[in-house]
Amino acid sequence: MTTPPEPWTFWAPPLDPPTTGGLPQQTAQNIADATWSTDPHLCAALQWESYAAMLPPAASVSTVSTGAQSVSYQPPLPGGEYGLAVSRAAWHRSLASALGTTPLTVADPAKASVPDNPWVDPDSYNAWWPVA
């Protein structure tokens, strides 16, 4: 009886082993251990970006013609395996959770600030805590 593969492997780039030249299995596992449970799309994006970083860049593609239609890319997109890996990483990043970072805010300059720290909101300041 064989063990089923881990779920993240279905979204991962080619892995080494079994694919020679793919993203090393241990690297992919480390990324999955750190991110899969919180954001699977971020996990996949990081794995595809890691894989793309291993590949040689290919010539950029600015137009594709099939005879029936023509498509232009502005700016030109990278081609080959590298371009494929970068586009998959971008697709997964577009679906990743936006909760990863909190936007920075600046304190209202009209309010008095905490001594020696103009970035702290005075409403959340507690004078009981010593200020260094």
Residue pLDDT, tens place only, 19-55:
899 999 999 999 999 999 888 999 999 999 999 989 8
In a domain, 48, yes or no: yes
pLDDT band of residue 102 (cuts 50, 70, 90) is very low
Name the residue among 122, 129, 93, 88 with its Cα closest to residue 108.
122
In a domain, 14, yes or no: yes
In a domain, 131, yes or no: no
Q: Give 41's Cβ-side CA count (13 Å radius).
A: 12
What pLDDT sits at residue 2?
80
Helix (DSSP H) and strand (DSSP E) numbers for the chain: 3, 4
Q: How far apart are the C-alpha atoms of 122 and 54, rounded to whole Å?
A: 49
Q: Are the beta carbons of 41 and 91 closer than 8 angstroms?
A: no
What predicted TM-score, i.e. pTM, was given to this entire model? 0.62
In a domain, 130, yes or no: no
For residue 28, give its domain range.
Answer: 7-103
Question: Rounded mean pLDDT of the chain?
Answer: 77
In a domain, 13, yes or no: yes
Domain count of the fold of the chain: 1
Q: How far apart are the C-alpha atoms of 8 and 40, rounded to whole Å?
A: 7
